[in-house]
Amino acid sequence: MGRTQQRRREYMMGKALIICASVSHGNTRRVAEVMGEVLGAPVMEPEEVHGLADYDLVGFGSGIFLQKFHPRLREFVSSLPRQQARAFVFATSGLPAPRLGPMVRLLEDKGFEVTDRFSCRGFDTWAPFKPVGGIRKGRPDDTDLAAARAFTEKLKRRA
């Protein structure tokens, strides 16, 4: 794609931002960085974000802690005023099938149109797994990151 085509594509898509709370092993941050590359979007911690008015698409992600998104991300979203923007959610989890619905509903209550969801496994050393050195070692792996890239490319094409 030529530079002019790329600029036109970025204009059509608008500005994107990835908000990520990744605290234990950097699992979610690695996924967020791949998504940010595809979207040409910065990846920021919730505390670094001072408003979303300039963004047309916002990704919200964290590791899953006790079957919930990280409290820092939940508190950030709870503190937002109502707005109109597209959003997507993503998570990493040592255990299968994290519940993404509560974050989706919280965002929708704030006026976001949640267009899609993504999750993959991540290295997890939560208390019962710590004595055995954790579970899902090496995750997210190259296959997970390729899936995150494909997810985000699909999201970008729909813009």
How far, rounded to the nearest angstrom, does the alpha carbon of residue 71 sit from its chain's CA centroid? 15
Q: 111 versus 9: which is more confidently predicted?
A: 111
pLDDT exceeds 50 at position 9: no
Question: How would residue 23 be classed by pLDDT, with cut points 50, 70 and 90?
Answer: confident
* Predicted local distance difference test score (pLDDT) of residue 77: 96
113 touches 159 (CB < 8 A): no
pLDDT in tens, 34-74: 999 999 999 999 999 988 989 999 999 988 777 788 899 99
Does pTM surpass 0.85? no
Level-2 CATH architecture, domain 3-157: 3-Layer(aba) Sandwich (3.40)
The domain segmentation of the chain, as residue ranges, is: 3-157
Q: How far apart are CA 119 and CA 70, in angstroms?
A: 14
Q: Which residues of 81-96 are buried (b: 16+ CB within 10 A; e: fewer)?
A: eeeebbbbbbbbbbee
pLDDT exceeds 80 at position 17: yes
pLDDT in tens, 117-158: 898 765 565 555 555 555 456 557 888 889 999 999 999 887
